[in-house]
Amino acid sequence: MHALSHNALTLLIVQFLVIIGVSRLIGRGAQWLGQPLVIAEVLAGILLGPSLLGWLAPGAMDWLFPASSMPVLKMLSQVGLILFMFLIGLELDPKLLKGRGHASVVISHTSIIVPFALGAGAALWLYPRLSDPSVPFSSFVLFMGVAMSITAFPVLARILTERRLLSSRVGAMTITCAAVDDVTAWCLLAFVVALVRASDLMHAGLTTVLAMLYIAFMLLVVRPFLARLGARVASKEGLNQNGVALTLMMLLASAWATELIGIHALFGAFLMGSVIPKEGGLAQALAEKLEDVAVVLLLPLFFAFSGLRTQVGLLSTSDHWVMCGIIIFLACAGKFGGSAVAARLTGMRWREAGALGILMNTRGLVELIVLNIGLDLGVISPTLFTMLVVMALVTTFMTTPLLRWIYPPEEMARDQVSPTPVVEKVEAQPFTMLMCVSHGHSGAGMVTLGRALTGAPQEPSQLYALHLIRPTERASFHLRHDPEKASGDSLTPLLGRANGLGMQVRPISFVSAEPALDICRTAEAKQANLVLLGWHKPLFSRTMLGGTVHEVMQEANTSVAVLVDRGLEHVRRVLVPFIGSAHDRAALGLARRLLQHASAEITILHVTQSEGQHGHSGARPLVEKLFPQGSGTVHFKVVAHDSPEEAALEESRRGYDLVVVGVGAEWGLEDGLFGLHRERLIGDAPTSLLVVRHPTPAPAAEATPETESAGKLTASNVAS
């Protein structure tokens, strides 16, 4: 281990492993709490620094992050920041800044002026207490104003997309105001950096003039050249390595130029990304190539480096914590209060105005970048840096829960999913089926089953195909994401097969960070009688009914079925293993629909524990009630077997098209979030399976003919 600490390359590799591993581990917990990944990465950096690791195990921290490794860590984190600021510029669409209405002008300006004024006012009080006398008062005031005015544009875009607010009035207004804030804040910060670095006012003025000339050069010379490059990318196969190399050289040159001018290399990276045309595909191609390396590999180093500089132990007195609380209060009052009041005065409802204010109060990673610049320049002390990092964490962490309170999930589901059309003068309620499609391969079997369950024209039915898109950490995903286009590959095969069979299937697609809950909310909004899920092999556990399937089965207020599709093309012979549970009765109910709507031949396999007729004496009358004489071809078969699972598996090998079976331990099918038990019926059956779970208790409002029959069966004594 001693030799390891003196090997710079090996130590750097270990640092990478620890930083990325801890960030992703905490990230899982952050996502479970509904928080953006940036919260986890900031916390991971702080936990690896003196605030926790250095406090609990100072020897381990000194070994993992010795002082000699800090210059390398800092330089690599700066390279990551240059790439990240370039990506932020790529996401900043100039269309967001043009043609803005009166409301967005008022809100965006107010969301900058009010927090800037409060930050400058707080500087009057903080300067004698937390600043070094050598720091110019003007620089300190301006920096505090900028630090309070920041809005985290990338984090905001992610939250808006996950909450499906990006296309709403609130989302469009918020993203516009955040774009204006970003540009204004970086321009103000560039001026502050120029003022701090300049030896006198004349040099500061010269730096400002050079910066303006450089911006003009980028807009008038570089941007037209990049537009031609973008046109070549669009007309050919895509962005090749020469194009990436040329763009990266221009990015580094821009960062170098702004560093020489005196306004920081990050501003040059941001400007380079901003001037790249968003049409033609160049911006998106660059983002897709650079984001993973920048965000997953290099950016966590910046968080770790920031965490090493964040020392919560510096807030050692009650006065320090009071100051920190006041800073948090002023930050929220300026950003949330200013934005919300301005939005209300422009005509928004209080709910909309409050949501906009909460979103604008998100600071995230961008605030951390600004604070590190201030600490590097010596404008703020390590103690004030720690207070402002705590403020950035608190304001980012509070965004999601407050937004969830302002816009609860139920209301969001109603906004995104149109109500079920009212069917006039129809005695029976339409049978509604929600097919949840995760990928294109699972759609064909679902359509076959959907037709078999709803094929009779005399009974009204409604079929919906739901595709949920999981969000990624990529910023480019959120601003240029088209749910309809993204879901095309998954829903097109299903919709094409449905059209070929003369079926009407209505597609639904949106981004979801909580797929199980959103499936249940959509099913409730559509008043679905059956939620049909696809199936795929799990990555780690051995249970097929785990993860999202388990969560849907637990939360749904209606019947849930999982289709294990092994090439289901028609439904002619159906096997229903039966013992008598509520889930078995739900399986019988679906079998009755298959009998009525697809004229399927149904075989009911009643498994008993002993020989003779005792086992089915109570079961046969129940089956006869559900399948009266003349309703179709129904075979009732009784088998005595010690293992119902094995009996069902043996019967399934007799040439059936589909096995419809209820969830239950007797069949070796128990839904669980995790599982080590292998479900033999699913794994070894040669035919397609439909695994059914009946809700408990069944909602009376959504009763269907089969659930009514199942209810009659429930009241009876089923012998087994």
Q: Are strands 461-469 and 634-640 parallel, antiparallel or unpaired?
A: unpaired
Torsion of CA 188, 191, 197, 203, to 10 degrees: -170
In whole angstroms, give the CA distance from residue 694 to residue 588.
11
pLDDT number for residue 320: 92
Tokens for 295? Answer: 């965000």
Beta bridge partners of 532: 435, 561
Which among 91-105, 317-331, 655-669 has the top mean pLDDT?
317-331
pLDDT in tens, 235-271: 656 678 888 889 999 999 999 999 998 888 989 998 9
> Which of 3-17, 35-49, 212-226, 315-329 shows the lowest per-residue confidence on average (mean pLDDT)?
3-17
What count of other Cβ atoms lies within 10 Å of the Cβ of residue 504?
10
Whether the CA torsion 357, 361, 364, 367 is positive or negative: it is: positive
Scored b (16 or more CB within 10 A) or e, 427-449 reads eebbbbbbbbbbebebbbbbbbb
Whole-number percent of the chain with pLDDT over 70: 82
> Which of 62-66, 192-196, 323-327, 427-431 shows the lowest per-residue confidence on average (mean pLDDT)?
427-431
In whole angstroms, give the CA distance from residue 354 to residue 669.
47
Give the distance between the most distant pair of CA atoms in the chain. Answer: 105
Q: 478 with 161: CB under 8 angstroms? A: yes
In whole angstroms, give the CA distance from residue 255 to residue 374.
18
Q: Is pLDDT above 60 for 376? A: yes
In whole angstroms, give the CA distance from residue 48 to residue 438.
38
The tokens 């803005």 sit on which residue? 100
Q: Is pLDDT above 80 for 48? A: yes
> Which of 110-124, 222-236, 247-261 shows the lowest per-residue confidence on average (mean pLDDT)?
222-236
61-67: average pLDDT: 89
Helix (H, G, I), strand (E, B) or coil at 488: helix
- Using a 10 angstrom Cβ sphere, with 0-12 exposed, 13-18 middle and 19 or more buried, the burial of residue 718 is middle
In whole angstroms, give the CA distance from residue 160 to residue 169.
11
487-493: average pLDDT: 64
pLDDT number for residue 126: 92
Helix (H) or strand (E) holding 581: none
Backbone angles phi, psi at 459, to 5 degrees: -110, 125
Local confidence band at 382 (pLDDT 50, 70, 90 cut-offs): very high
Q: Is pLDDT above 60 for 532? A: yes
SS3 of 145-210: HHHHHCCCHHHHHHHHHHCCCCCCHHHHHHHHHHHHHHHHHHHHHHHHHHHHHCCCHHHHHHHHHH
In whole angstroms, give the CA distance from residue 107 to residue 104.
5
In whole angstroms, give the CA distance from residue 277 to residue 282.
7
Q: Is pLDDT above 70 for 56? A: yes
Identity of the amino acid at 193: V
pLDDT number for residue 326: 95
Q: Is pLDDT above 60 for 123? A: yes
pLDDT number for residue 250: 94
Q: 444 with 552: CB under 8 angstroms? A: no
Local confidence band at 296 (pLDDT 50, 70, 90 cut-offs): confident
522-541: average pLDDT: 76
pTM: predicted TM-score of the whole model, two decimal places: 0.68
Beta bridge partners of 468: 510
Helix (H, G, I), strand (E, B) or coil at 420: coil
Higher per-residue pLDDT: 142 or 630: 142
- How many Cα atoms are found within 13 Å in the side-chain-facing hemisphere of 717? 3
pLDDT number for residue 472: 62
Q: Is pLDDT above 50 for 420? A: no
Higher per-residue pLDDT: 443 or 268: 268
Backbone angles phi, psi at 649, to 5 degrees: -65, -40
What count of other Cβ atoms lies within 10 Å of the Cβ of residue 92?
24
Tokens for 489? Answer: 């590959």
153-161: average pLDDT: 77
Q: Is pLDDT above 60 for 699? A: no
Tell me the average pLDDT of the chain: 80
Tokens for 476? Answer: 């480019």
pLDDT number for residue 598: 80
- Which ranges constitute the DSSP H helices of 34-136? 37-47, 53-56, 58-64, 70-91, 102-130
Tokens for 309? Answer: 């500089």
Q: Is pLDDT above 80 for 342? A: yes
pLDDT number for residue 712: 37
